[in-house]
Structures are given as structure tokens and as C-alpha cells.
Amino acid sequence: MLTTNQTTLVSDVMTKNVITAKENTTIEEVFEKLKDNHIHHIPIVNEQEEIVGLISYQDVVKLFHPSTTYNHPQGWLKTKGFLQSLLAKEIMTKNIYSLNPDSQLSDAIELLLENQFHCIPIISNKKILGMLTPFDIIKRFKEG
């Protein structure tokens, strides 16, 4: 059976060099970043590069589905022009769980399992340092 070392830190396993988007990035641009970089989650940062939210590939795909409606101040809209003008800050998840780089990997695994998360941003002083996904953990186990 595979086990984690109690001293393994999330910083040892996380993906570094995280691709981010600004709060005022259009959803069209966010979608392109997700597709072009083959990623499933993108942290949203403010002008000071502090993480303020998170958008998943699934969040964006839902907007393009014909049955999806979105509550916009101007009413329920579903047009291509609307999706091109929709900003990251309008759909991002704002209340995100995060860990610091010195957190134990075992704690991160518990957080992923208990909440059925697909990623955890790793931050320090509100700045994104990395992302931890189940895929990162699987790679770590494979490497030994």
C-alpha cells in the first residue's frame, strides 16, 4: 500500500509556475488560457497579484451550455456578446480554501477528500505559489 511520509510538505508536491488571470479578464480569455495550457483551474488575482478567487474549466463550460442562464444586472442573458463581456470577477469562486507551502501533504489529502475539491491553491501572504491537485499527489506516489 502506498503511504505518505508525515514530513512531506505540499511545497514538495505542488505544481509551481501557476498560470493566473486578473479579475477583469474576460471569460473568453480565461477559457483560452485553460484550453491552451491544458489546465483545469485558474487562480484569479488582483492588481497586487493577490489571489481573490478561482475559476474551474467546468465553471466556464457551464456558461456555454444551452440550458445555462446567468443572473446579470441587466437580466438573464445568454448571448455570445454577453459571454465575451463577462469578467472573471463575476463568476469566480471567492471563498476558496487554501494552504500554505509548509502544510503537511496528509492535511491536504484530507482537505481534498472531505470537501471533494479538485485543487487547492498554495499561498503565502495572499500570493499564489502553487496549486495542488490529486494528479500531483498521484505523480508523487508513482515517483516514490
- 47 part of a folded domain: yes
The pLDDT of residue 1 is: 36
- 108 part of a folded domain: yes
Minimum mean pLDDT among 19-23, 60-64, 85-89: which range?
A: 60-64
pTM of the full structure: 0.84
- 23 part of a folded domain: yes
pLDDT for 46-58, tens place per residue? Answer: 999 999 999 999 9
Q: Give the residue among 131, 29, 12 at the shortest CA–CA distance from 88.
A: 29
- 95 part of a folded domain: yes
The pLDDT of residue 75 is: 45
pLDDT for 34-80, tens place per residue? Answer: 999 999 999 999 999 999 999 999 988 887 665 555 554 444 445 55
CATH number for the domain including 26? 3.10.580.10
Whole-angstrom CA distances from 102 to 2, 81, 105, 123, 141 are 22, 44, 9, 10, 19
Comparing 109 with 62, the larger pLDDT belongs to 109
Q: What domain count does the chain have?
A: 1
Q: b/e per residue, 100-113, with b = 16+ CB within 10 A?
A: ebebbbeebbebbe
* Domain around 139: 10-143
- 89 part of a folded domain: yes
Q: 73: phi > 0 → left, psi -120 to 50 → alpha, else beta; which?
A: alpha
- 4 part of a folded domain: no
Query: Grid coordinates in use for 59?
Result: 465553471
For the chain, give the percent of residues with pLDDT over 70: 81
- 78 part of a folded domain: yes
Q: Is the pLDDT of residue 138 over 60?
A: yes
- 114 part of a folded domain: yes
